[in-house]
Homo-oligomer: A and B are copies of this chain.
Amino acid sequence: VTGPPAGRPRAGQLDAADPLAAFRDRFVLDESQIYLDGNSLGPLPRATQARIAEVVGHEWGSGLAGSWSHWIGLPGQVGDLLGEHLLGAAPGQVAVCDSTTVNLYKLACAALEARPGRSVIVTDDDNFPTDRYVLQGIAAQHGCQLRMIATDLNQGVDEDALRRSLDGHTALVCLSHVAYRSGALADMAAITQIAHDAGALVLWDLCHSVGAVPVHLDASGADLAVGCTYKYLNAGPGAPAFLYVRAGLQQRLRQPVWGWFGQRDQFAMGAGYDPAPGIGAFLTGTPQVIGTVAVQQGVELLAEAGIGKLRAKSAALTSYLIDLADDWLAPSGITVASPRDDHRRGGHVTLAHPDAGPISQALIGQNVICDYRTPDRIRLGPAPAYTRFTDVWDALDTLRQILISRSYLNQPAAHSAATY
């Protein structure tokens, strides 16, 4: 056992030079803990806390039903804001609505219907569970085949394997932009082209990338996308998700849940369903107002920081984390289970160890909040809007001490609570 490593002053220098350092004060954070789980649930922005109180007390409490004249435009307005600042999407293509799961269902059904005669959906076998389950359900209901390409758990989807899996039967390719387990970042433009070369549509899950890495939906030629807002967008537990439908596809695609918020002239309450023009046709029921306002606040905060600066800091934080893991933790059996190339890695880093479960619990017990992933992974998400280089140093030092002392062997088996 060696003494504590040198180098913390270097982390302090990196913090001092951080152009985003001041954004940390925008969040409610407990200084007694290091929160590396913003890739699961982002912390509360102070402005969001105030804005929710205003929406509840003033818009609902005083404005009552009359506030719907303002609220009704929110799904599209906040969608446009998200599109402009974080998704590379021109106006009229993004809406904030429903959950990621429901949006995946709506868009995958719509895509399948738009590719008649094709009956194969392709995803990867390590895609996030809800993606796999939703697609499995759709395949069963539509008599289609769900083809799962074998994926390296540390490196993400292999483009050659993907290309080989596609043919004239492929209707839809559905993949995550950043892999939830490894943090591997897919090349959206290249993979979209591979799907299009086979005549398939592509649906991107942006849950683990939106707000962490720049997304260029329009420039990549992407067809469809969904994502959640409670991770890097910091919109709170169960805040509504979003969906993107490329403008050129909106007229051709028809989603299956024909609700009154997707109706062209909603309050005429006409006899027949007549889908609204544009992205409005992809809405369903009454929108979740408080959560949508929280999305707006979250996007505005990140827009002010700038996704370019956020990404640069994120790459520096995760690279620093990997360097410390190599230096300090490899002798204790930790391996890095994320891509080492900054350009292939999103906003989180995953470490592998056979005792990852109890080690995660021990870390949380020492106020370093991470999450455990089956079977042997520890996920660390140093979100750039509020994480300091000294936080990474301290977290890794805590982990180092846990590993050296083997104190984690006294932990009960992990039940992964912090995994949303």
Contact = CB atoms under 8 A, between A and B. Distances in A.
A249 interface: no
Given A230-B286, A290-B236, A290-B290, A65 B40 contact: yes
Given A101-B261, A137-B258, A263-B129, A237 B67 contact: yes
A101 B28 contact: no
A372 to B, nearest CB: 9
Contact of A102 (B40, B60, B102, B137): B102
Interface of A: 28, 30, 35, 37, 40-41, 43-44, 48-49, 52-53, 56-57, 60-62, 64-69, 71, 98-102, 105, 125, 128-130, 132-134, 136-138, 141, 228, 230, 236-241, 256-263, 266-273, 284-292, 364, 369, 371, 373-374, 415-420
A364 B415 CA distance: 54
A228 to B, nearest CB: 7
Contacts of A129: 260, 263, 266, 269-270
A237 B420 contact: no
Contacts of A288: 238-240, 288, 291
Nearest to A136: B273
Given A100-B286, A272-B136, A285-B130, A37 B64 contact: yes
A285 B68 contact: no
A209 to B, nearest CB: 17
Contact of A136 (B71, B101, B258, B292): B258
A239 to B, nearest CB: 7
A56 B236 CA distance: 8
Nearest to A134: B258
A273 B136 CA distance: 7
Contacts of A101: 257, 259-261, 284-286
Contacts of A369: 64-66
Nearest to A228: B286
